[in-house]
Amino acid sequence: MLGRIGFSGLAVGACVLGATLSSEAVDPLPSINLLETDKISIFAEKSGDRKYAERFAESVYDTAYEITGESAGKGLVIIGDYDEIHPILLVKRYMDARGLDEGHPSLQLFGANEGEAPIRWDEANEELKKEMGMDIDSIAYVIPMPMRPALLTLYLVAREEKFDEAAVDRRFGDLEPRELVSDEYERFDWVIYLPQRDAIDRVIKDVLPAVMKKEKIGFFKRTLVRGAVATFKPAIRDAMEGVRKSLLFEGILQATSDYDEDEIKLLTEAYRNALMPRGKVIPGGKSKRSLEAVRAQLQENESYKRDPFVPPSAVLNDLPKDAARYAGLYRDADKRLLTVTLEDGVLSYYRGDKPEPIALEAVSDTLFTTEERDWTLEFMRDESGEVWEAELRRERWRRTYAKR
């Protein structure tokens, strides 16, 4: 039932993916390691990881249900293990084993993120080595990601080979693209792969020495850096948890909601931002706060639908004669500044402390747009013509500023 994002046709648990998995193989996701609820199936090697994943996934699931009023579908959460080859590395191995290049159509099976990442792998790998003295393979285990059917198939095949790299490469070399997706089963609406819970601790442990060695930091600076990391590690870990939850939240909405991609992006951003730690403080009540943030974004999305942004098609030759009245400082509810200037016959604006003004062209006496027509700035005037407010807009974004 994962037609929206291509998850249809999963064979998991006691099922076999057509001829892809060996007929003599042990169940690729052994039921002994599978935690089943009415909403989610969770696969993890350790019981502690299964319990953690249940709490993790249930909280995200409940938020998705609250805003849609509909079932968020049946999902599968796979908790990774350090001994495994990470799914993003499996895509690269499959590409290499099959000799697939950038333009091969079968890469679409993996979706944009999974298909594009390996294409730029060598370039990114070299840059990481140059900057930090590490390669991508050594820190990939920290990456959470949704799994399309093709990627899940690669994972199950690799798991059957116990993640032995040589055996995996041999199997991948014989695995035709058409074998990557089976349409026999429709069990899950979404699947996500999560790194181990302590992955962020491990990446800090792995990356920090490499960075300090690369930068040739002395003893006292190393001590200060380690102390700072120890101080902020809880916030870093909390931020990583927020990123994981937002990724699952996005996957659930993509699979089971009727929201379009732009709406899902905005809802996910609102959800993620509400979960982020603020400074040194890791605030409580994150579930309530994230739900409130998503509901507020839903209202904004509905507002955008009722009053969509329409790029102006034509502009006036000249500015209004009274354009000078628009110049000045404006401030929004969060005290962020918008500065409007009129110099040498050009009306411009800039936000915050951005030094480069953006020129405006007149659409009407009160509405202005940028040269690319992707922003508008509308001024509100009272009956006497006094300017009291300005609204800055682009696609699915608006902000109102009061004139100071």
CA distance 25 to 32: 16
Question: In this prediction, what percent of the chain has a pLDDT beyond 90?
Answer: 25
Q: What is the rounded average pLDDT of the residues 110-135?
A: 57
pLDDT confidence of 3, banded at 50, 70, 90? very low
What per-residue confidence (pLDDT) applies to 2?
34
Residue 380: count other Cβ atoms within 10 Å of its Cβ: 14
Query: Over the stretch 44-74, which tens digit does the pLDDT of each residue have?
Result: 888 888 888 888 888 888 888 888 766 666 7
CA distance 22 to 83: 22
Between CA 320 and CA 328, with CA 323 as vertex, the angle to 5 degrees is 165
pLDDT confidence of 376, banded at 50, 70, 90? very high
When mean pLDDT is compared across 12-16, 207-211, 277-281, the lowest value belongs to: 12-16
Max CA separation in the chain (angstroms): 85
pLDDT of 332 > 90? The answer is yes
CA distance 169 to 96: 9
What per-residue confidence (pLDDT) applies to 329?
94
CA distance 365 to 316: 9
Mean pLDDT of the chain: 78
CA distance 30 to 45: 9
Q: Which two tokens stand for residue 244?
A: 């994981």
pLDDT of 214 > 70? The answer is no
DSSP symbol at 322? T
Q: Taking Cα atoms as reference points, which of 98, 78, 99 lies closest to residue 180? A: 98
CA distance 108 to 88: 14
| Structural element, H or E, at residue 204 | helix 199-215
pLDDT confidence of 4, banded at 50, 70, 90? very low
CA distance 305 to 231: 44
Q: Which one is predicted more confidently, 96 or 21? A: 96
Return left, alpha or beta for 99; rule: phi > 0 is left, psi -120 to 50 is alpha, else beta: left
Query: Over the stretch 266-289, which tens digit does the pLDDT of each residue have?
Result: 999 999 988 887 655 555 677 888
CA distance 236 to 245: 14
Q: Which amino acid is at 37?
A: T
Return the CA Rg of the chain: 26
pLDDT confidence of 89, banded at 50, 70, 90? confident
CA distance 121 to 287: 36
Strongest mean pLDDT among 216-230, 245-259, 325-339: 325-339
pLDDT of 216 > 80? The answer is no
Give me the residues paired with residue 371 across strands: none
Between CA 108 and CA 114, with CA 112 as vertex, the angle to 5 degrees is 90
Q: What is the rounded average pLDDT of the residues 186-201?
A: 78
What per-residue confidence (pLDDT) applies to 14?
34
Q: Taking Cα atoms as reference points, which of 47, 45, 18 lies closest to residue 157? A: 18
10 close to 149: Cβ distance less than 8 angstroms: yes
45 close to 163: Cβ distance less than 8 angstroms: no
Helix (H, G, I), strand (E, B) or coil at 329: strand
Contacts of 16 (CB under 8 A, 6+ apart): 23, 25
Strongest mean pLDDT among 8-12, 20-24, 234-238: 234-238
Q: Which amino acid is at 331?
A: R
CA distance 212 to 215: 5
Domains in the chain (CATH in brackets) are 31-198+231-304 (no CATH), 323-403 (2.40.128.50)
Q: Taking Cα atoms as reference points, which of 4, 61, 38, 54 lies closest to residue 249? A: 61
CA distance 28 to 166: 18
What per-residue confidence (pLDDT) applies to 201?
76
